[in-house]
Amino acid sequence: MVKIVVPNWIEDETLARLSAHGDVVTSEGRDPLADDELRAACADASALMAFMTECVDRPFLDACPKLKIIAGALKGFDNLDQRACTDARVLLTYVPNLLTEPTAELAIGLSIALARNMRAGDAHLRSGTFAGWRPNFYGGSLQGATVGIIGGGAVGRETMRLLSGFRGRRIYFDENRLDPTTEKALDAQYAPLDDLTRLSDFIILALPLTDQTKHIVNVSFLAAMKQGTYLVNPARGSLVDEAAVVEALNTGRLAGYAADTFEMEDWHRPDRPRQVHPALLACDQTVLTPHIGSAVSEVRRQIAAEAADEIIAFLSGKRPRHAVNPEVLET
């Protein structure tokens, strides 16, 4: 039978379905296979289910010559080198739809938690000094705010839709402007990036990580923001220069920063930091979560199941539904 590698924990029912089509190698517990374990496992494997913890590049593919399909159990596949996969004639698939709603939901939750000082309030209550209501922890609100969303893709649009429940103004920037019908349905206005940074009370990042978007939030971006803006990043860590964010928090340019993703997670970056910026962790005006954008039990079950479906379809001689490089199938 063919060999299928699943380097992270997934539900037993999905593993059982995969096992009907090949010999499955997986990790024990919740930690992924280490890099050397992954390469050893994939050296003679036909299929790999990849997560955010894996980095697939040319050297990896050279070491795994029998791989025929890499099914990403994710939406953003910047850690999986599409061109290298195509050159190696390895089909790459992804899961485009299931992460949209939970990620947008978390973006709203982080925005509220940040503006309403929930982290500081929680710490105060747990400190044992709480003695009832006091005029403390005053913050901001999404109600009546101008919220700028950078990115008009699925997550950006869903974030705009959720924001419709708050009185306020929604503006967005994307290289590809939405059509007028969609803008009207979302009650969102297009704004050039310079205007969005200048006008927004909250800025939410909802775009993929590319060479062009890496560190889109940098010193000059932060300097152009209005004083006291809240910045929220549920997208990709390296969209943000964390050192620049720390400086903006220290000077008060930023009222707060919330993030679910961090630069150290972008494994494919040879220059990535090896830890979350220590000063960011020490900063009081932050709300930081450990990449839980899609961490809804049923959603994660469905994501793994869909990635498994792609592997099973391919091994059964059928066409996977969400191929990133379908040209591999044509030759």
Looking at residue 263, what DSSP letter applies?
G
Considering only the C-alpha atoms of the chain, give the largest distance between any 2 of them, rounded to a whole number of Å. Answer: 71
Cβ neighbours, 10 Å, residue 149: 31
Angle of helix 297-315 relative to helix 12-19, nearest 10 degrees, comes to 0
| Residues 285 and 249 sit within 8 Å (Cβ to Cβ) | yes
Alpha-carbon distances of 191 from 52, 155, 208, 229, rounded to whole Å: 32, 18, 19, 17
277-285: list long-range contacts, CB under 8 Å, 24+ apart: 277/242, 277/243, 277/245, 277/246, 279/243, 279/246, 280/242, 280/245, 280/246, 283/246, 283/249, 283/250, 283/257, 284/119, 284/120, 285/114, 285/249, 285/254, 285/255, 285/256, 285/257
Those residues with Cβ within 8 angstroms of residue 175's Cβ, 6 or more apart along the chain or in another chain: none
Catalytic status, residue 265: yes
Tell the residue number behind the tokens 């000059």, with chain if given. 220
Selecting among 170, 236, 277, 300, the annotated active-site residue is 236
Selecting among 242, 263, 265, 306, the annotated active-site residue is 265
DSSP per-residue string spanning 168-183? EEEEEE-SSPPPHHHH
Catalytic status, residue 247: no
Those residues with Cβ within 8 angstroms of residue 216's Cβ, 6 or more apart along the chain or in another chain: 150, 205, 207, 239, 240
Q: Is 313 exposed, middle or buried (0-12, 13-18, 19+ CB in 10 A)?
A: middle
Q: Which residues pair with 265 in a beta bridge?
A: none
Catalytic status, residue 291: yes
| Residues 232 and 207 sit within 8 Å (Cβ to Cβ) | no
Active site residues: 236, 265, 291
